[in-house]
């Protein structure tokens, strides 16, 4: 991804503060790939990803006054997208997807290296998880949230968050194994 | 420090910062939402400007009313005037007034031409009426006496100047009180010509049961309660504003429910949406008297309201055997519909006393924009019943 020129970004943001359409368009286009990347990970399908994206930018433009210019815009945007995605998750998920901690100490750290797997393949695998697993895995493994933060965000217990992460990993491992059954190179990482 | 699991690493590396080509469709989708959002969001400067403008208008109205009221009370026949003996000896400014004999009103004509000419030049072509009411109670008796005075064919038979020391600083003005049947006024051409329109404030306490729904003249039983301030511009026209707390209960097919944020199809589609909302209704109406007698009046009123949605609760009903979808959402202070409702009403007012009347007012509220989270066309039709207090008449010197 090309390096974001902060100076240009700040110029766009200044225009957005004045509700200039062209600045909004420029900012949207500048961060489209990054933002859509997050949306796709959390969404169940591409249509929902577009909805999350547009709702997120709607919040960005509506609350642009609250953005602290001393901090990277990208981080602020990422946070808004994640929160919007969680709103969608809450709307999607009302029951049945969260599970309590079970015995998972036997899960090995064995993993496969699937470096050649394309972005679309990985995305499809994440989306194949249940919404609860998908949300926790995204938040923890990719976006770097702690279990405490996840528990608060999703309204679940820390143990449930840990359990869902564990099961998400396990499920992904199974799916990876199925996907590359014929030519799976494996390594033991620990 | 989080553990670095290989699965995590694999997906993080593969899914972070992908190179996704820009899609104009997504911008169009956002633009559409931005347009919708712009309609609903009133910039702060509009709020501040509106508040300032309203404050200025109110201040001007109050100022004008205050002056008019003082003049009216001072000049009203029936006002119990102090005798010169009661007045401070130093009072130098005299009030130019006139009374009508022959109607049983106490009349103590007195003239202090010297003082009058020094203090205030008598207005050219203006005649003023004043009289004492032997029953006392100046405020309440003023209107009655005025009515009696104006109804009398001999009311203006004699207009005698007199002095009054109550308003040392008052400016002599023509009488403004014009109460009474039109025929009575017609018999008083000099009054009619000399007197400017009757102006003044009235406050109303209002309760209004109504039916709210997506169709006019139908829906669920709801209600309004609040205060309305009315300013009479003339005998015919008035403007009013106020604040009403309205509870809006209504039901709508989901097809009519168009939330700003796209409904997530994977969340299922309800068949019915039932709403229970708390709304602050700020109306601004213009009233026109179409028929007026001494005791009653008919009027029509039209205007526009702003709805501030204080609380919105929506209950979603799904088809049988569909579970796990959102059942209810509650929003607080999320939506504001500035000038988003049209008001139409007719009314009948009946005077109980000169300063207190009761009004019954069938009304309909017509949506000019989508209301609430679902952007529904929300109609309300009902009957407002109010107790109206005429502050001008109650005002004391």
pLDDT tens column, B48-77: 666 666 666 556 555 555 555 554 444 444
pLDDT of residue B49: 64
Taking 3-state DSSP, the helix, strand and coil percentages for chain B, each rounded to the nearest 5, stand at 25, 35, 40
Q: Does B37 touch chain A (CB under 8 A)?
A: yes
Beta-carbon contacts below 8 Å between A and B: 117
Asked if the model's pLDDT at residue B314 lies above 50, the reply is: yes
pLDDT of residue B51: 61
Most confident segment among B180-194, B322-336, B350-364? B350-364
pLDDT tens column, B183-202: 444 444 443 444 455 788 89
Contact B267 A91 (CB under 8 A): yes
Q: Does B330 touch chain A (CB under 8 A)?
A: no
pLDDT of residue A187: 45
Domain ranges for chain A:
6-92, 111-187
pLDDT band at B115 (very low <50, low <70, confident <90, very high): very low
Residue whose pair of structure tokens reads 């960005």 in the numeric block:
A60
Domain B199-394 listed as CATH 3.40.640.10: no
How far is it, in rounded angstroms, from Cα B194 to Cα B74? 16
3-state secondary structure of B311: strand
User: Which of B11-15, B146-150, B212-216 is least confident?
Assistant: B146-150
User: In terms of CA atoms, which chain A residue is nearest residue B38?
Assistant: A62
Q: Contact, A151 vs A139, CB < 8 A?
A: no
Q: What is the mean pLDDT of chain B?
A: 69
pLDDT band at B228 (very low <50, low <70, confident <90, very high): very high
Those residues of chain A that have pLDDT short of 70 are: 1-4, 93-116, 180-190
Contact B266 A96 (CB under 8 A): no
pLDDT band at B322 (very low <50, low <70, confident <90, very high): low
User: For B255, which DSSP code?
Assistant: G
pLDDT of residue B67: 55
Q: Does B44 touch chain A (CB under 8 A)?
A: no
Q: What count of Cα atoms within 13 Å lies in the side-chain half-sphere of residue A39?
A: 25
Residue whose pair of structure tokens reads 């996907």 in the numeric block:
A179
pLDDT of residue B384: 94
Backbone angles phi, psi at B257, to 5 degrees: -90, 115
User: Which of A49-53, B173-177, B343-347, B387-391 is least confident?
Assistant: B173-177
pLDDT tens column, B26-35: 999 898 888 7
Instruction: State the span(s) of chain B assigned CATH 2.40.160.20.
Output: 199-394
Q: What is the 3-state secondary structure (H, E, C) of chain A?
A: CCCCCHHHHHHHHHHHHCCCHHHHHHHHHHCHHHHHHHHHHHCCCHHHHHHHHHHHHHHHHHCHHHCCCCCCHHHHHHHHHHHHHHHHHHHHCCCCCCCCCCCCCCCCCCEECCCCCCHHHHHHHHHCCCHHHHHHHHHHHHCCCCHHHHHHHHCCCHHHHHHHHHHHHHHHHHHHHHHCCCCCCEECCC
What architecture is the A6-92 domain classified under in CATH?
A: Orthogonal Bundle (1.10)
Most confident segment among B40-49, B63-72, B201-210? B201-210
Contact A172 B18 (CB under 8 A): no
Q: Does B324 touch chain A (CB under 8 A)?
A: yes
Best mutation target, A122, A170, A188, A190, to test chain B (most B CBs within 10 A): A122
Burial of B145 (0-12, 13-18, 19+ CB in 10 A): buried
Which fold does the domain A111-187 belong to in CATH?
Answer: Arc Repressor Mutant, subunit A (1.10.10)
pLDDT of residue A62: 86
**Of the partner residues A41, A51, A144, the one whose CB lies closest to the CB of residue B2:** A144
User: In terms of CA atoms, which chain A residue is nearest residue B3?
Assistant: A141
pLDDT band at B117 (very low <50, low <70, confident <90, very high): very low
Contact A123 B15 (CB under 8 A): yes
Strand-pairing partners, residue B350, are: B296, B358
pLDDT of residue A111: 42
Handedness of CA B180, B181, B183, B185 (dihedral sign): positive
pLDDT tens column, B263-283: 655 556 777 888 999 999 999
Contact B20 A96 (CB under 8 A): no
Contact A172 B261 (CB under 8 A): no
Q: Does B5 touch chain A (CB under 8 A)?
A: yes
pLDDT tens column, B276-310: 999 999 999 999 999 888 888 999 999 999 999 99
pLDDT tens column, B83-92: 444 444 443 3
Which residues in chain A have Cβ-Cβ distances shorter than 8 Å to B33? 54-55, 58
pLDDT of residue A163: 93
**Of the partner residues A48, A95, A172, the one whose CB lies closest to the CB of residue B7:** A172
- pTM value is 0.41
Contact A44 B266 (CB under 8 A): yes
How far is it, in rounded angstroms, from Cα B299 to Cα B286? 10
């Amino acid at each position: 991804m090309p390096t974001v020129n902060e100076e240009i970004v700040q110029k766009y943001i200044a225009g957005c503060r004045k509700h200039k359409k062209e600045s909004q368009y420029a900012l949207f286009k500048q961060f489209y790939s990054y933002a859509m990347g997050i949306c796709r990970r959390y969404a169940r399908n591409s249509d929902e990803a577009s909805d999350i994206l547009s709702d997120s930018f709607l919040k960005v433009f509506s609350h642009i006054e609250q953005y602290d210019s001393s901090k990277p815009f990208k981080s602020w945007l990422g946070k808004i997208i994640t929160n919007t995605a969680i709103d969608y998750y809450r709307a999607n998920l009302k029951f049945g997807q969260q599970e309590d901690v079970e015995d998972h100490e036997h899960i090995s750290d064995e993993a496969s290296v699937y470096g050649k797997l394309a972005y679309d393949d990985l995305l499809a695998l994440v989306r194949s998880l249940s919404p609860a697993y998908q949300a926790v895995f995204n938040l923890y493994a990719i976006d770097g949230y702690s279990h405490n933060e996840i528990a608060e965000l999703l309204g679940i217990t820390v143990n449930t968050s840990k359990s869902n992460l564990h099961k998400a990993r396990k499920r992904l491992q199974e799916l990876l194994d199925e996907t590359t059954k014929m030519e799976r190179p494996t390594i033991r990482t620990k | 420090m989080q553990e670095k699991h290989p699965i995590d690493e694999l997906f993080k590396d593969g899914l972070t910062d992908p190179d996704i080509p820009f899609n104009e469709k997504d911008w169009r989708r956002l633009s559409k939402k931005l347009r919708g959002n712009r309609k609903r969001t009133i910039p702060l400067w509009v709020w501040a400007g509106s508040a300032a403008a309203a404050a200025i208008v109110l201040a001007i109205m109050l100022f004008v009313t205050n002056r008019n009221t003082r003049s009216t009370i001072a000049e009203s026949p029936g006002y119990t005037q102090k005798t010169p003996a009661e007045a401070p000896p130093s009072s130098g400014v005299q009030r130019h007034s006139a009374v009508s004999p022959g109607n049983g009103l106490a009349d103590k004509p007195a003239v202090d031409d010297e003082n009058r000419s020094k203090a205030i030049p008598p207005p050219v072509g203006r005649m003023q009426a004043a009289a004492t009411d032997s029953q006392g109670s100046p405020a309440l008796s003023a209107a009655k006496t005025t009515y009696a005075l104006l109804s009398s064919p001999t009311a203006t038979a004699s207009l005698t100047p007199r002095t009054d020391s109550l308003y040392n600083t008052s400016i002599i003005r023509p009488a403004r009180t014009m109460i009474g049947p039109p025929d009575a006024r017609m018999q008083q051409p000099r009054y009619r010509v000399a007197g400017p329109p009757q102006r003044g404030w009235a406050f109303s306490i209002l309760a209004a049961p109504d039916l709210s729904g997506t169709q006019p003249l139908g829906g669920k039983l709801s209600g309004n309660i609040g205060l309305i301030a009315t300013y009479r511009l003339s005998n015919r026209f008035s403007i009013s504003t106020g604040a009403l707390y309205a509870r809006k209960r209504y039901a709508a097919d989901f097809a009519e429910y168009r939330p700003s944020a796209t409904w997530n199809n994977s969340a299922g589609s309800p068949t019915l949406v039932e709403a229970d909302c708390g709304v602050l209704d700020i109306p601004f109406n213009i009233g026109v008297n179409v028929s007026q007698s001494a005791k009653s009046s008919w009027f029509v009123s039209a205007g526009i309201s702003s709805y501030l949605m204080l609380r919105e609760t929506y209950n979603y009903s799904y088809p049988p055997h569909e579970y796990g979808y959102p059942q209810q959402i509650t929003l607080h202070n999320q939506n504001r519909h500035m000038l988003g409702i049209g008001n139409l009403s007719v009314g009948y007012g009946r005077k109980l006393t000169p300063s207190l009347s009761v009004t019954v007012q069938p009304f309909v509220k017509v949506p000019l924009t989508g209301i609430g989270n679902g952007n529904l066309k929300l109609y309300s039709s009902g009957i407002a019943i109010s107790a109206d207090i005429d502050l001008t008449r109650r005002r004391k010197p």
